[in-house]
């Protein structure tokens, strides 16, 4: 049997600290890698050992696999945890990590490659009878895109075949906007994921974004841990997540969970992962969107309602140990909400805000958790993701959890950069949130303009 002794965390920010906490509780030593810009970063101070890996630009440091592997060999690490982002879902990179003799704390390279190609992932779902929205692809030219759009009908969503996180995604209502959306999607697909190929999918207006957390070990267990509602988004990036969803009952939860488990079993998936769906709440119909083959930013809300430490399970699975739970003893209790605190200005189209955090105070008290990768004095630069920390709360039901989140956000203090805190606090008081009337276009279509008007009126 394996025994992980030392894990190199190939990431930064709050997820690096989160992984190191999980390792520390299991008696596993940790190694932080850092760029020149991150010499004083929180994750660097938290680790047992550190290795500098290059300049601030991610391509020359956190995405430089030669330097990552060199650091892992130099410090004697026996495993690498990718966190999320960077090369967490890069099958070729994972293949190199495995070939170099390191344990990759995540699924195998083949499963990552398969589900990282959105069209191949759709084919897996189709073979298993999981519902899909009409789509067309792969498409490599504006002419192909125009012809496919005529067949499918509008509105449509244009997506790069590779990658995730909403990068390159665009909604189009007619042919006039299609060429521009294709250029945008193919360019960003090439830049971010090395592939300019796109596909079209029928667009569902006012849909819910609901995902199922799964965990799978090497001993035949694949377990669904319930859903997370992730419908409040800007530019296809999530801002607020909660569990359970206010529109998912136990019957629908079981149906979506069973679909997620079928997909994971069919591809021989191991470790934790998330299967994402679009949900038409009125018709109670759901459609496969994609699978994220990594730990998710929003994993804490599942941890809060189940009491299961997902990072600990990742480490156990990588160590060839069985899950610490079975499907029979998973118990979901209460309600959890996560708000992402980003260094962005909602009043200026979420423009990034940079500078030095001059003062920082986190909320505490019953049912409050903060996952953070910054301290007072931390530098916030343009080089990396703007996520500073996540505020997560738990309470007995959605109304009490919302009240607790309002209290927690009101206690949060971040000075030196602009953040999303005030906007999130305002959302928690909105009628749409409190009545559960949310969908993927609500924030940009309605809540942001109303918040700007609210601020302008003082």
pLDDT of residue 236: 84
Rounded mean pLDDT, 416-421 = 98
DSSP 102: P
For the cut 80, the answer to whether the pLDDT of residue 192 exceeds it is no
State the pLDDT confidence band at 223, using cuts at 50, 70 and 90. very high
Integer angstrom CA distances of residue 279 from 133, 206, 457: 11, 9, 36
pTM for the model stands at 0.95
CB atoms within 10 A of CB 208: 22
Q: Which of 18, 51, 253, 294 is catalytic?
A: 294
CA dihedral in degrees (305, 374, 433, 429; nearest 10)? Answer: 120
For the cut 60, the answer to whether the pLDDT of residue 337 exceeds it is yes
294 is catalytic: yes
- Mind listing the pLDDT tens digit for each residue in 262-290? 999 999 999 999 999 999 999 999 999 99
CB-CB contact of 24 with 314 (8 Å): no
d(CA 373, CA 83): 13
CATH architecture of 6-105: 3-Layer(aba) Sandwich (3.40)
- Mind listing the pLDDT tens digit for each residue in 2-25? 789 999 999 999 999 999 999 999
- Mind listing the pLDDT tens digit for each residue in 171-185? 888 888 898 889 888
232 alpha carbon, distance to own chain's centre: 13
For the cut 80, the answer to whether the pLDDT of residue 75 exceeds it is yes
Rounded mean pLDDT, 115-123 = 93
pLDDT of residue 303: 98
Integer angstrom CA distances of residue 247 from 128, 241, 280, 285: 25, 14, 10, 12
Q: Does domain 208-456 have CATH number 3.30.470.20?
A: yes
Residue ranges per domain, the chain?
Answer: 6-105, 134-202, 208-456
What CATH class has 134-202?
alpha beta
Tokens of 167: 């990068």
């Amino acid at each position: 049997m394996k025994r992980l002794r030392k894990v190199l965390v190939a990431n930064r920010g709050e997820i690096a600290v989160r992984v190191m906490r999980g390792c520390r509780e299991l008696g596993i030593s940790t190694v932080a890698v850092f760029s020149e810009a991150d010499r004083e970063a929180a994750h660097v101070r938290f680790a047992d050992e550190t290795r500098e890996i290059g300049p601030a630009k991610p391509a020359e440091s956190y995405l430089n696999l030669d330097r990552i592997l060199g650091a892992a060999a130099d410090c004697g690490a026996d495993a690498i945890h990718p966190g999320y982002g960077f090369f967490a879902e890069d099958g070729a990179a994972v293949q190199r990590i495995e070939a170099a003799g390191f344990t990759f704390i995540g699924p195998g390279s083949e499963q990552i490659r398969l589900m990282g190609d959105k069209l191949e992932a759709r084919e897996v779902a189709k073979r298993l009878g999981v519902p899909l929205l009409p789509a067309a692809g792969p498409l490599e030219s504006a002419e192909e895109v125009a012809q496919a759009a005529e067949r499918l009908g509008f509105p449509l969503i244009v997506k790069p075949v590779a990658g995730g996180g909403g990068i390159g995604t665009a909604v189009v209502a007619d042919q006039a906007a299609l060429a521009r959306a294709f250029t945008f999607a193919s360019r960003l697909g090439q830049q971010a994921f090395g592939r300019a190929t796109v596909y079209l999918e029928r667009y569902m207006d006012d849909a819910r974004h609901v995902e199922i957390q799964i965990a799978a070990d090497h001993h035949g267990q694949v377990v669904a841990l319930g859903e997370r509602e992730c419908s409040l988004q800007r530019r296809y990036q999530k801002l607020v997540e909660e569990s359970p969803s206010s529109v998912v009952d136990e019957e629908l939860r079981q149906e979506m969970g069973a679909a997620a488990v079928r997909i994971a079993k069919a591809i021989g998936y191991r470790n934790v992962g998330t299967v994402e769906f679009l949900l038409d709440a009125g018709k109670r119909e759901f459609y496969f969107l994609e699978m994220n083959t990594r730990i998710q930013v929003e994993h804490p809300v599942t941890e809060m309602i189940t009491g299961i430490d997902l990072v600990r399970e990742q480490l156990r699975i990588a160590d060839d140990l069985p899950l610490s739970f079975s499907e029979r003893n998973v118990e979901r209790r209460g309600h959890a909400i996560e708000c992402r605190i980003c260094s962005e200005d909602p009043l200026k189209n979420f423009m990034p805000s940079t500078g030095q955090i001059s003062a920082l105070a986190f909320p505490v008290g019953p049912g409050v958790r903060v996952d953070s990768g910054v301290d007072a004095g931390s530098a916030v630069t343009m080089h990396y993701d703007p996520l500073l920390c996540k505020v997560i709360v738990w309470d007995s039901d959605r109304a009490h959890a919302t009240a607790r989140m309002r209290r927690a956000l009101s206690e949060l203090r971040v000075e030196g950069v602009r953040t999303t805190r005030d906007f999130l606090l305002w959302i928690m008081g909105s009628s749409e949130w409190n009545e559960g009337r949310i969908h993927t276009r609500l924030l940009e279509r309605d809540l942001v303009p109303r918040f700007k008007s609210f601020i302008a009126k003082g």
